[in-house]
A and B are shown apart, each in its own frame.
Chain A
């Protein structure tokens, strides 16, 4: 069994737990991580020499962060750790890597556990490309990793638990939070209460952030529609519609996000079977509760295969690692597996509640309501109107055809940013469900690759 060469992609909560589980069984996994320090997005660690205490970096989560960072330090000597390394392609038995020094390498695997995490889901709206507009995740990275705040006057808009958390973190760090603008309504949150009670601790934290923000005089609005970011060359204001009226506020930055979306490109390149997930409003690689996929030897854990949060990611990381071990011939610890699965199921119920509490804006806000001249694809400067025109004039009914004919999803982000908007627009044109237009096929490289990495300099 020692000839196994398991590889874990991602060193967040799922990846670290998975690695620790494999080590406990006597294996030495390779852990490849794009970040230079372990912890993932949620428990991202600042660079060396930064001195903000964990309590201010991670708030309520500081003990969990601490525990995970310590766990990682403990297992680090026993793993083949590749920080700062991008996995840019995946084949049936190997990954293509770009290391932190720019060197390209191929890494074989016998078993692959993907814990690739998530990024913000965004929907383009008027002014979204103005310098000074960030995703909620980027705003949090600026604070957690670099100890900087964006603003100083900053509006938080969108929906999802991150909205209130980051607003709270910014306000606590001294930013002038001009408001929290939630596209979901307060009524949605009340309706979701039964589901939310499955995660009572999280609910309490969420309520704490809201209460804290309210107590500190931060204006909060529910059921709003973002109208535009104002300003030429830099953000000068944010305008929204709420209660039937149009309002605006002065600010220097806008942090925006509509929850998270899974990073699924590697599972796609590997050929995992995908299915449309109504809860996440996205195509996701199929996985069982054990983390197994449609492919033998490929496992999924954490937010990279459906958003469930950091606690679920730790459980799923361990569960998927146990599945890997079982498939490799190790004896399975049935009791541990049953415990992990029952906890994962409980979190899943809470997630259903959360999605009801922070529902995505109606699809037509990101689809039919967008102006023709709005740029959806910032890489290729493709407008909403050009997509509609392709649907009308060229008879496009499927997303990859739309890509071929308009270049949407062909730029640097390969549709990770613009794909949801393209889907919404095409579905609105065809008056069909988003899943009916298919999904953009993943293509390597997952992220842009410097040519010098791939082609050696010539001797001349």
Chain B
């Protein structure tokens, strides 16, 4: 059969690829999105559901703020509220050293547009009486929050389809190559041609980087997540801990979603939470929220996430191939910024540039490092 031609082909129906598809389709461009499983069923759909700017490195803040504006009008954007709430994000310190780190972070990102409030002592106890005595202080970001990734991420793909993008699920891409005026793909037995190719394939992003001679230190990570039975309202904020470890949020219907530690792989696409890590998470978590002791866990899970060694995504043009754009490797923190990353990719296709600073996310940073170039600041 003859190959169909699109302005843009997107590899991967996670929140980044689907957001790009949505933006491009709304700009009137023809888009095909190819997803080997179901849209939003990978890391974008099974992650913890934190929607926070606090804690991100300075170079991610502009992208994160752009995402923040998208989340603000999520219902209009994708057609559902996705259980998104601006509950505040409370990052806890369990020692004076951790408190000092929270202060240092606030200073580091001062002037980037994020309002953080440091609380400790009696103020902390009065405002957050549910916290255990292990907590000595916290940094509060009032407009951060959380959402349900199982609902939000697939809804991006549905909104893209509604806007005219062609979404092909359960379609494995087996080959990609550069042609005279774009790209040719083999996908689910069809040939597809496109002017631009967006590589938003998360842990599967290596297919396109390898095809075009780009070596990136992409690896996979596996979060350990769990959820309790529904409980009476206990805490509204999205809870994190300085230095990582435990994170938790309570959803409207009462369940507490929590996570911490790392799982392990069964194979390329399947993984499991590590029970020892989860026990540690619950041990640490009940010290922070003692009321959790009297509850039951009803489910554990994990998912495959794409990691980069510096925990920053690869976002922007390929270093080798014109028309190829990358958006992967969000390193376990892509849910909040995913919608903006997709918007940036759409900017690059539509306008050839973006107003959002993304230099720090260039794929070339790894090549530079390999060539022993002097360390560069990415900001």
Contact = CB atoms under 8 A, between A and B. Distances in A.
A69 to B, nearest CB: 33
Interface string A376-415: 0001100000000000001100101100110000111010
B272 interface: yes
Contacts of B350: none
Contacts of B206: none
A451 B273 contact: no
Contacts of B266: 271
B279 A455 contact: yes
Contact of A104 (B279, B284, B287): B279
Nearest to B280: A455
B133 A449 contact: no
Contacts of A455: 279, 281-286, 292-293
Contacts of B301: 443
A454 B277 CA distance: 10
Contacts of B293: 451-452, 455, 457
A458 B287 contact: yes
Given A451-B293, A457-B286, A410 B299 contact: yes
Interface stretch (B4-12, B150-158, B235-243, B329-337): B150-158
A77 interface: no
B190 to A, nearest CB: 20
B41 A451 contact: no
Interface string B243-279: 0000000000100000000000010000011010011
B221 to A, nearest CB: 19
Contacts of B253: 380
Contact of A451 (B150, B286, B300): B286
A444 B225 CA distance: 11
Contacts of B273: 444
B295 A451 contact: yes
Contacts of B150: 404-405
B117 interface: no
Contacts of B38: 398, 401
A243 interface: no
B15 to A, nearest CB: 14
A89 B275 contact: yes
The number of chain A residues touching the other chain, given as a range, is 20 to 34
B296 interface: yes
Contacts of B134: 458, 460
B266 to A, nearest CB: 7
A175 B339 CA distance: 63
A451 B296 CA distance: 5
A93 to B, nearest CB: 13
A456 interface: yes
Given A104-B279, A444-B273, A450 B298 contact: no
Interface in A416-460: 443-445, 448-452, 454-458, 460
**Interface class of chain A by DSSP:** loop
A460 B286 CA distance: 11
A454 B295 contact: no
A412 B286 contact: no
Given A443-B301, A454-B282, A460-B133, A394 B154 contact: yes
A407 to B, nearest CB: 8
A303 B293 CA distance: 35
A423 B283 CA distance: 37
A404 B296 contact: no
A445 B287 contact: no
Contacts of A400: 41
A448 B227 CA distance: 10
Nearest to B282: A455
A250 interface: no
Contacts of A380: 253
A456 B296 contact: no
Interface in A43-75: none
The number of chain B residues touching the other chain, given as a range, is 35 or more
B228 A451 contact: yes
Contacts of B234: none
Contacts of A104: 279
A444 B275 contact: yes
A311 interface: no
Contacts of B279: 104, 454-455
Nearest to B253: A380
Interface in B20-77: 38, 41, 45
- Of A405, A412, A455, most B-chain CB atoms within 10 Å: A455
A460 B282 contact: no
B252 to A, nearest CB: 12
A448 B296 contact: yes
A382 B133 CA distance: 38
Contacts of A404: 41, 45, 150, 154
A273 to B, nearest CB: 14
Contacts of B290: 458
Nearest to B274: A91
Contact of A444 (B151, B158, B286, B300): B300
Given A401-B38, A404-B45, A91 B272 contact: yes
Given A404-B150, A405-B150, A448-B229, A454 B297 contact: yes
Contacts of A410: 227, 298-299
Given A404-B45, A451-B228, A452-B293, A458 B298 contact: no
B132 interface: yes
B287 A412 contact: no
Contacts of A188: none
A228 B272 CA distance: 42
Interface string B128-161: 0000111000000000000000110010001000
B298 A412 contact: yes
B294 A414 contact: no
Nearest to B302: A443
B189 to A, nearest CB: 19
A268 interface: no
A91 B133 CA distance: 36
A449 B299 CA distance: 9
A96 interface: yes
A227 to B, nearest CB: 31
A460 B298 contact: no
A445 B41 contact: no
A408 B150 CA distance: 13
Contacts of B132: 458, 460
Contact of B286 (A91, A96, A458): A458
A460 B287 contact: yes
B99 to A, nearest CB: 18
A431 to B, nearest CB: 19
- Of B281, B282, B290, most A-chain CB atoms within 10 Å: B282
A96 B276 CA distance: 10
26 contacts: A89-B300, A106-B275, A394-B154, A394-B158, A404-B45, A405-B150, A410-B227, A414-B299, A443-B300, A443-B301, A444-B299, A445-B299, A450-B295, A451-B228, A451-B286, A451-B293, A451-B294, A451-B295, A454-B278, A454-B282, A454-B283, A455-B281, A455-B282, A455-B293, A456-B283, A458-B287
Which 3 pairs between the two chains have the least Cβ-Cβ distance? A455-B282, A458-B287, A448-B296
Interface of A: 89, 91, 96, 104, 106, 271, 379-380, 394-395, 398, 400-401, 404-405, 410-412, 414, 443-445, 448-452, 454-458, 460
Interface of B: 38, 41, 45, 132-134, 150-151, 154, 158, 227-229, 253, 266, 272-273, 275, 278-279, 281-287, 290, 292-301
